[in-house]
């Protein structure tokens, strides 16, 4: 693994995935990869129980961003000590509004139920990363801010990029030693794209 994304989902992580792959740091693992391959959920559940098989989970990948990987940033920085770490950040209130209208909103029925491996994994992520669940806005925002502070306090400054995707190519390329492409920085995964992805892969969640 060459790049570890420590930022929570809904901080521009799918845009970052696209950018990393464009720069040659791919394939890049992201929650959408797990949605495509729900049979991997038990591997992540084992990781949550302290029995991670990282080489198997990340076989063929050079980078990871978003959930579930960001929930294991401490373990992954120990497993891959030479990897560079990118912490995607966002205004906390806007982050909350985004997750509350997408990842935590199942009005459409597209999100996995809390049954089965995928549902169990999401439960564990919510309990472990967001202090018990997403329903309490203040607690979720506090957990989000604490996570960002802990990453910045723990990862050596020369190994860490704190990044907002609105900054575009230059800081990312400077950090990775890459040449900025002559094309716009990718901006994907707005709310409509999120629900499109869910509707595409929802039938496989309970496998």
Predicted TM-score of the model (pTM)? 0.89
Please, what sign has the CA dihedral across residues 40, 45, 48, 52? Answer: negative
Tokens of 86: 């990118």
* Other CB atoms within 10 Å distance of the CB of residue 2: 17
Residue 169, strand partner residues: none
| CA-closest candidate to residue 63, choices 79, 85, 81, 41 | 85
Q: What is the mean pLDDT of each run of 10 residues along the chain (207 residues)?
A: 96 95 97 88 94 96 96 97 98 90 57 68 76 74 95 98 97 98 87 63 46
Under a CB-based contact definition with an 8 Å cutoff, are residues 3 and 63 in contact?
yes
* Other CB atoms within 10 Å distance of the CB of residue 113: 12
CA distance 44 to 33: 13
CA distance 193 to 99: 13
CA distance 144 to 57: 25
pLDDT on residue 38: 87
Return the biggest CA–CA distance within the chain: 46
CA distance 205 to 117: 8
In terms of residue numbers, what domain contains 151?
3-204
pLDDT on residue 116: 76
pLDDT on residue 104: 63
pLDDT on residue 102: 73
Under a CB-based contact definition with an 8 Å cutoff, are residues 83 and 4 in contact?
yes
Q: Tokens 């707005």 belong to which residue?
A: 190
Tell me the helices (H) and strands (E) count for the chain, helix number first: 10, 5
pLDDT on residue 110: 42
Q: For the chain, how many structural domains are there in total? A: 1
Task: Check which CATH number belongs to the domain holding 55 and give it.
Answer: 3.40.50.300
pLDDT on residue 206: 42
By DSSP bridging, strand 63-64 and strand 3-5 are: parallel
Strand, coil or helix: what is 85? strand
């Amino acid at each position: 693994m060459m790049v570890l994304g420590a930022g929570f989902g809904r901080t521009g992580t799918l845009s970052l995935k696209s950018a990393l792959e464009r720069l040659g740091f791919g394939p890049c693992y992201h929650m959408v990869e797990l949605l495509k391959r729900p049979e991997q959920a038990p591997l992540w559940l084992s990781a949550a129980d302290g029995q991670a098989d990282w080489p198997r989970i990340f076989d063929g990948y050079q980078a990871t961003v978003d959930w579930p990987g960001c929930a294991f940033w401490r373990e992954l920085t120990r497993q891959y000590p030479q990897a560079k770490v990118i912490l995607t950040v966002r205004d906390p209130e806007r982050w909350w509004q985004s997750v509350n209208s997408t990842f935590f909103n199942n009005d459409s029925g597209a999100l996995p139920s809390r049954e089965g491996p995928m549902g169990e994994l999401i439960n564990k992520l919510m309990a472990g990363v967001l202090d018990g669940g997403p329903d309490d806005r203040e607690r979720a925002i506090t957990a989000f801010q604490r996570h960002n502070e802990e990453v910045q306090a723990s990862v050596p400054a020369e190994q860490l990029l704190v990044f907002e995707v609105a900054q575009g190519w230059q800081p990312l390329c400077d950090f990775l030693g890459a040449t900025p492409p002559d094309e716009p920085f990718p901006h994907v995964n707005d709310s409509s794209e999120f629900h499109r992805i869910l509707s595409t892969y929802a039938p496989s969640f309970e496998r």
